[in-house]
Amino acid sequence: MKSISLAVLLFTFGIANCQTTVSGGIYQNTTWTLAGSPYEVTGSIVVFPGKTLTIEPGCVVKFSADYTFNTGNLIYLEIRGSLVANGTPNIPVVFTSTDTTTGFYNWYGIRIKGSQGGSVQMNNFELHNSYQGIHNDISEPGVTYQFDECYFRSNNYALQLNADLVYNNCMFESNGVGQAAQIQYGTLTATNCYFINNFCSFTWSNGINVSNCTFVGNENNIIGSPGTIQNSQFLNNTFGITETSNITVTNCNFEGNGTGIDGVSDCSVSNSTFTDNSIAIKIGDGGEVRKNQINNNGVGIQVLAYNPTTTVIDSNNICNNSVHNLENLIDKNFQVNLNCFCSQDSVVIENGIYDGYDDITRGLVNYAIYDDSCQTILSYITKVVLDGNASIVEQNQSWRVWAFQNQLHIITENPMDIQLLTSTGLTVYKSALLAGENVLPITFSTGVYLVSNSLGDQKRFVVAP
């Protein structure tokens, strides 16, 4: 008699509005079919251990909305057994609310009871208007959740899982937090994903691997998460990346953000473009900023390193930033000789550098003046003589190269073998150099060339017409 009453609790058919009304416990393997969709969840549901709830592609599961915002009253789906909810690219499974007009949460979410062996398999699905999203009651070291073609919208938290997470072709839109902090355990891998208008895309993961993703209009985007980000776009966010250590950013585009990258320590930023940001990059101890285009922002680079000898700012174009190209926010002196400021006028460059000349509490910054091609150093501006422990590290300063009046000048601290290459990689000259200044005749045509030494280091120079 008891089992019959439980079955009645589980399936009550609302014939008048052509939907299936469900609540209560699931004690046997159960399938929610497309023919029975939509399913209206009027009371919390528990899938018991050893049992599986399978939801067919195209099913819409609507949870009755609660407007009290007392989270203890919100309806949930709890998985102590298994949930299989695999849609298809064109026919997703949808978990939503009976009322999506409020724009935010009014049901609790999908609770995975990992402590009782609960598990989910979910792809090609949507999740809207929940409070906790998909969440677990324990951390799961060694467990990987992979979500393909998923769409999270208007959730307080889209996911809270202390496990390894993989997102492929997913969208996070207008959530409070997309992926919540993985305090106990977990990594995050996101490929070809979109993060749009979230308060925060994801926070405090133990390791991220982000590639080919787009972040648009988020408030706090990526917070406190070490790892790698490559081939991604950050557009019109308040913060692109912030409060972060041990992160590597390559081949990315930062445009229209309040702050592009706020790097606390040991951050590497290379081969990326920064345009129209209020502040492009903040860099701290152990940071590396190399081979970037940092142009037409408010502030190009702010240096916050307590120990600038561990910081590298090398081979960047830092040009036409309206407030300052570079701001020294510490009281240490350093130099940025391997960066082009797109002017041969020292007054113009000086106006773009905020240092001890502008505020006596700041240290001084030495720099170099390049030619129009940003390939060749014309002169050095030395405001303060630095010892080896007082300057920002500059790679390859054991040798310098410049071309002048049909002669190539190479100054090296140690003997070395060099070869000259065209921009297409064709070798046009080889020579063994002595320590000191070496002067070589230029007998080849105009253009951009590379000097490569025996250690594999390269420098560029221009042969003018």
Pull the structure tokens for residue 291: 């081979």
State pLDDT tens for residues 445-462.
777 777 888 766 777 666
The pLDDT of residue 246 is 94
Q: Which of 88, 155, 158 is nearest to 123 (CA)?
A: 88
Per-residue pLDDT tens over the stretch 242-289:
998 999 999 999 999 999 999 889 999 999 999 999 999 999 999 999
User: What residues contact residue 405 under an 8 Å CB cut-off, 6+ apart?
Assistant: none
What is the rounded distance in angstroms from the CA atom of residue 69 to the CA atom of residue 258?
32
Q: Which of 258, 193, 172, 277 is nearest to 219 (CA)?
A: 258
pLDDT band at 404 (very low <50, low <70, confident <90, very high): low
Residue ranges of the chain assigned to CATH 2.60.40.3110 = 399-463
| pTM of the predicted protein model | 0.81
Nearest to 155 by CA among 139, 172, 168, 170: 172
Structure tokens at 176: 């409070």
How confident is residue 41, by pLDDT bands cut at 50, 70 and 90? very high
Q: How far is CA 133 from CA 14, 109, 157, 170, 264, in A?
A: 27, 5, 5, 15, 30
Q: Quick one: pLDDT band at residue 464, thresholds 50, 70, 90?
A: low
Confidence check: pLDDT of 391 > 80: no
Spatial separation of the C-alpha atoms in residues 421 and 418, rounded to whole Å? 10
**399-463, what's its fold?**
Immunoglobulin-like (2.60.40)
Write out the DSSP string of 351-391: HTEESTTT-TTSPPEEEEEE-TTSSSEEEEE-SS---TTSS
Residue 15's pLDDT is 37
Predicted confidence at residue 69, as pLDDT, reads 75
Mean pLDDT of the 340-350 span: 94
> In the sheet that 119-123 helps form, which strands lie side by side, from edge to edge?
30-32, 52-55, 82-86, 119-123
327 is written with which tokens? 């701001």
For 362-390, how does the pLDDT look when each residue is reduced to its tens digit (9 = 90+)? 999 999 999 999 988 888 888 887 765 44
SS3 348: helix
**Mean pLDDT in the chain?**
89
Interatomic CA distance for residues 130 and 110, integer angstroms: 9
Residues with Cβ within 8 Å of 460's Cβ and at least 6 positions away in sequence, in order, are 375, 376, 448, 449, 450, 451
Cα(166)–Cα(364) distance, rounded to whole angstroms?
Answer: 46
Cross-strand partners of 441: 407
Give the end-to-end CA distance of the chain in Å, rounded to a whole number.
Answer: 98
Asked if 335 and 391 count as a contact pair (C-beta separation under 8 A), the reply is yes
Q: What is the pLDDT of residues 189-228, one digit of tens each?
A: 999 999 999 999 999 999 999 999 999 999 999 999 999 9
